[in-house]
Structure 1
Amino acid sequence: MNGMLVVVNKSDNSVSLINAAEHKIINTLPTGKGPHELIVSDDGKWAVSTDFVGGDSLTVFDLSTQKVSRTINLEKYPGPHGIKFLKDQKRVAFTSGKSQNLVIANIHSGEIEVAINTQQQTTHMVAISGKEDFAFTTNIRSNSISKISLANNSLLKQIKTEAMPEAINITNDGKQIWYGANEKGLVTVIDAETEAQLAQFDGFSFPYRVLFSHSEKIAMVPDFQLHEVRFFDTKTFKELGKLILEEEAGPQGITLHPTLDIAFLSLNLKNKIVAIDIASRKVIAEYPTGNNPDGVGFVSANSK
C-alpha cells in the first residue's frame, strides 16, 4: 500500500498528507473553515476539500507540490458539502445546502460554470452515474433525492425517501441507488429508473456513507454512532457480516484504494484512519491524522 492518504481534519481546518508506507504525517495544509468532504483526482495530482462550516469555499490542493493551489469563494453558494470529480478531472460537482443547489466548478480557473437548484432543503451529498448522465442529491430536511440531468443541467424530479436521507451512492451501471436515512436508521436500495424499492436494511443508528468494492459486489456502510461497518451483497441483498470497530471510534469518511479491495476509513473520534481488507472484513493498518478526520482520499505511489 505504497502511496499517500489525504484527509481533512474538521477541528484543525486542515488536511493531513500521510505516507502510507511509513504510517506518518508528512505535511499539513490549511483549508477554509470547517472542512468536511474531500476528493482526489484519478491521476492523483489534485485534491479538493469542501469547507462546510463557515468556510463557504473549496480549497484546491496541488498534491505534486503539496501546496494549496487556490481557494474558490462560494459566497453565492454557501455550505458546500458532498463533492465528486467529473470525468474530465478539471471540474467538480458539489452540493450547496444553504442555497439548495448542485454546483459545477472548474478547479483550475475557479469559475462557477452552472448551478442547478434542487428546490429542496439541506441538499447534502451527491452521487453521479457512471455515464455521467445523471446526478442524485440527498436532501435531508425535505426527505427526498433530487434527480438532475447533467446533459442539460436541469432538475428532472424528486424521489421521496425515508426521513433524513444523507448517505448516497450509485452503481457504475446506473441501476442501483443506495441511500442511508438517519431518523430511523435505515439503508434503502432503489432501482434508479423505476424508483422501486429493491431492499432495505434496518438496525443502523447513523448510516454515514455507502461505498462499493471495485467489483461492486459488496456495499459497505459505516455507522457513526454504533461504531461499526456493515457489509452487504449487492446481488442477493444479504448481509455478509460486520466489522466492530474500537469503542467510540466514530467512523466517518471512507474511500477505496485505486486498485486493491481495501477501504480507508476515518475514525473521527480517535484521530486516525484504518485500512480495512474488504474480503476478510478486518483492519489491517492504522494511520495518524489531525483532529476529527472525515473526508479522505488515497494516491498511489505510481500515480503520474
Structure 2
Amino acid sequence: MDNGAMKIAFCLTAAAAAFTIVAAAAQSGGGRLLVLNKEDATFVIVNPDSGAVLAKVGVGQGPHELVASTDGKYAFASNYGTGGAPGHTISMIDIAAQKELRRIDVAPLSRPHGLAFTQGKLYFTAEADKKIARYDPAADKIDWQFETGQNATHMVLPTRDLRTIFTSNIGSDSVSAISQSGGSWTQTVIPVGKGPEGIDLSPDGREVWSAHSRDGRVSVIDVATKKVVATIDAGTKRSNRIKLTPDGRYAIVSDDGSGDIVVLDASARTVFKRFAVGKSPEGVLIPPDGGRAFVAVNGDNAVAVVDLKTWTVTKKLQTGTGPDGMAWLR
C-alpha cells in the first residue's frame, strides 16, 4: 500500500471511530461520560457502562473544569495551570474528530477555571484577575468581561434565561449575582460562609446552592431576592462540589477532606445520608435521567458511579490520573 492509500485508510478508520462514539452515545440511554484528568492533562471519552476509555485527547497543563456545547459537538477544558505556572488557555475539543480544535489563549487573563456554555457562547472565570469573561467560538474571540472585584472568583453559574450570572468567590467568602438590565450589568455581592466553592442551580431555577469549603456549611440563595434564605450544616471537612438531583429532592456534596459524599434533603434542609467514596472526591456529575451520579475520586485516579436509589457505589471507572471536571454527551 502506497503512502497516499495508507493516509486515506487512516482517515477513514479515524472517521469511523469518531462516528461510532457519537452514534453510540446517541443510541445509548446511558450517553457518554467526558472526563478531564488533571495530572495526565488529558480529556477522555468514557463508556459509563463498561468503563472503556473510547478516546483520549491532550489538553493544556492543569486542566480543571469541563463543559460541552449545547449541540454536543464541542467540549471546552479550562487549563488552570500548575503550581507557580498560571495557565491562560482553554482547550476547545472537537468531540467527533477526537482532537483539540484550538487552544484559546485568554491572556492577559489568567487562571481560567469555572465554565458554562449557554446561548452559543462560553462563559469562564479568570480567577487571578477577579473577572468573568465570555468567549464566542464562532468569532474566535472574547467579546465581554466583567470584574467582580472578589478574591478567587472560582466557579460561574448562569441562570437559564441568562439574566443573572452567579459566581463563587472563595477568598472573599461571597457569591456574586451579576444581573443584566437594559444592556448593562450590575453586581450584588452576597455574603455566605467561609470559602464558597461548589455552586449549583435548583432544577426549578429558584435557588442557588453554595457549598463552603472551610466551614462545613451550605448556603441556599433565593435567585429573585439575591439573599441567603437558609444555611445547612453539612458537616463536611472540605466541600468541593455540589449538585442537585434532577427532581430537586437532594443535593450531593463531595467532601474532599473526608472522602465522603454528603447527601442533603433539599426540602428538609438536613443531612439525609453520608457514605465513603474514596480519597479526595471532587467533581460531581448527574446525567439528565437522574438514576446515577459520577464522582471524580481524584486521589484514587477513578470515577465512582453512585446509584441514586440505593446510595451506594456500584463501580469505579479508571479514566486516568487525577480526574476532576466532567461533562455528559447525550
TM-score by length of 2: 0.85
In structure 1, the partner of 2:96 is 64
Q: Which residue of 1 aligns with 2:48?
A: 20
The residue that corresponds to 2:214 in the other structure is 183
Q: 2:311 aligns with which of 275, 281, 285?
A: 281
| Residues 1:96 and 1:241: Cα distance change in structure 2 (over 3 Å) | same
Match of 1:101 in 2: 131
Deviation at 1:150, TM superposition (A): 4.3
Q: Which runs of 5+ in 1 are unaligned?
A: none
Matched, 1:215 2:247: yes
Paired residue secondary structure (2:60): coil
Relative to its length, the structure with more helix (as a share) is 2
Q: SS at the partner of 2:320?
A: coil
Partner of 1:141, secondary structure, is helix
Of the structure 1 ranges 227-236 and 264-273, higher mean CA displacement relative to structure 2 is found in 227-236
Q: Distance in 1 between matches of 2:239 and 2:116?
A: 20
Q: What letter is aligned with 2:306?
A: I
Q: Count residues with an aligned counterpart.
A: 296
Cα shift readout 1:204-234 (whole Å, capped 9, x = no counterpart): 1111111011112211101011111111122
Deviations 1:97-146 (A, max 9, x none): 11111111123432101001101111101222232211111111112111
2:171 corresponds to which residue? 141
Aligned Cα root-mean-square deviation (Å): 1.7
Q: For residue 193 of structure 1, what is the aligned residue in structure 2?
A: 224
Deviation at 1:236, TM superposition (A): 1.9
Structure 1 segments of 4+ aligned residues over 3 angstroms from their partners: 150-153
Query: How far, CA to CA, are the matches of 2:277 and 2:184 in structure 1?
Result: 41
**1:265 and 2:295 aligned:** yes
State, as a whole percentage, how many aligned pairs show the same letter. Answer: 27
Counterpart in 1 of 2:26? none
More moved, 127-136 vs 189-198: 189-198
Aligned residue in 1 for 2:38: 10
Distance in 1 separating the partners of 2:312 and 2:71: 28
Give the SS at the match of 1:197. Answer: strand
Residues 9 and 23 of structure 1: CA distance in aligned 2, closer, same or farther (over 3 Å): same
Gapped runs of 5+ residues in structure 2? 1-28
- TM-score between the two structures when normalised by the length of structure 1: 0.91
Counterpart check, 1:125 vs 2:155: yes
Which one has more relative contact order, counting CA pairs under 8 Å at least 6 apart?
Answer: 1
User: Per the alignment, in what secondary structure is the counterpart of residue 221 of structure 1?
Assistant: strand
The letter for the 2-side match of 1:295 is: G
- CA offset at residue 23 of structure 1? 1.4
Q: Which residue identity lines up with residue 16 of structure 1 in the other structure?
A: V
Larger radius of gyration: 2
Residue type at the aligned position of 1:180: A
Whether the 8 Å contact between 2:203 and 2:246 is mirrored in structure 1 is: no
Amino acid at match of 1:233: D
1:29 to 39, 57, 75: 57
Contact 1:83-1:125 within 8 A present in 2 as well: yes
Q: 1:229 aligns with which of 261, 266, 270?
A: 261
Q: 1:146 and 1:48 mapped to 2: Cα distance?
A: 23
Shift of 1:76: 2.0
Do residues 206 (structure 1) and 222 (structure 2) align?
no
Local SS of the residue matching 1:210: strand
Q: Deviations over 1:240-294 (max 9, x none)?
A: 2122223xx2111111113243111111011111111222211223211111110
Contact 1:130 1:171 in 2 (8 A): no
Corresponding residue to 2:271 among 239, 242, 247: 239
- Picking from 76, 79, 82, the partner of 2:114 is 82
